[in-house]
Amino acid sequence: MAEFIKLYDENPNERDIKRIVEVLKNDGIIIYPTDTVYGLGCDITSNRALERVAQLRGIKLAKANFSFVCEDLSNLSDYTRQIDTPTFKLLKRALPGPYTFILQGNNNLPTVFKKKKTVGIRVPDNNIARAIVRHLGNPIISTSIYDEDDVIEYTTDPELILEKWDKLVDVVIDGGYGGNIPSTVIDLTSGEAVLIREGKGDLTI
């Protein structure tokens, strides 16, 4: 049975955040709010949890395109190759925000991602998600939770999310109703911004 934890974006309760981080450090999986849709995530350093997330999504971990959710841009160099000034300015302008930026990965990526040449970076405009990452001390991986209903592609109601995922994850965070529009995905690996998926983000950045 998943723990159901209510948090407020304006001022997330630190004790609850620490409890969530404890779960993550023990190979747990969480469902948490972002500035777009609710995400399914775990600690990027936990191979066991990463395997569980991949299994839930029905994909092989080696082929998974999970995003790294970061607190800010300060840790980018831990996982990406050197970023030129125009690219960094674009990232700084857009983040925190509803974007996933694909960047060239470096050799410090966690073991299970070693063969990947790129990494998707998210810095959501959501205090709950960023507080979790800050207390954890490293990014969490993220993948959107899908609803089988073709009309409602993303589940938005935390209580319905709990109903569906109760036996599959360890914590469901109620951060209020989520959106149903995913992040805008932009590929920056070529030095130019290439739109991969149009989502919630403003394309005039």
* 91-116: pLDDT as tens digits: 999 999 999 999 999 988 888 887 88
Q: Residue 151: is its pLDDT beyond 70? A: no
Q: What is the dihedral of CA 147, 143, 60, 25, to 10 degrees?
A: -120
**What per-residue confidence (pLDDT) applies to 109?**
86
* Of 69, 40, 50, 48, residue with least CA distance to 133: 69
Domain for residue 202, yes or no?
no
3-state SS of 57-117?
HCCCHHHCCCEEECCCCCCHHHHECCCCHHHHHHHHHHCCCCEEEEEEECCCCCHHHCCCC
- pTM for this model (two decimals): 0.94
* Of 67, 71, 126, residue with least CA distance to 100: 67
Range of the domain at 67: 3-197
Domain for residue 205, yes or no?
no
CATH number at residue 46: 3.90.870.10
Domain for residue 203, yes or no?
no
Number of domains the chain is built from: 1
Coil, strand or helix: which one is 159? helix
The structure tokens 């990406």 sit at 80
Query: What are the pLDDT digits (tens) for 48-58?
Result: 999 999 999 99
Domain for residue 171, yes or no?
yes
Mean pLDDT, the chain, rounded, equals 93
DSSP state of 120: E
Query: What are the pLDDT digits (tens) for 16-33?
Result: 999 999 999 999 999 999
Domain for residue 17, yes or no?
yes
Who contacts 42 (Cβ-Cβ below 8 Å, separation ≥6)?
24, 27, 28, 29, 30, 49, 50, 52, 53, 140, 141
Domain for residue 30, yes or no?
yes
Extract the tokens encoding 197: 């998926």
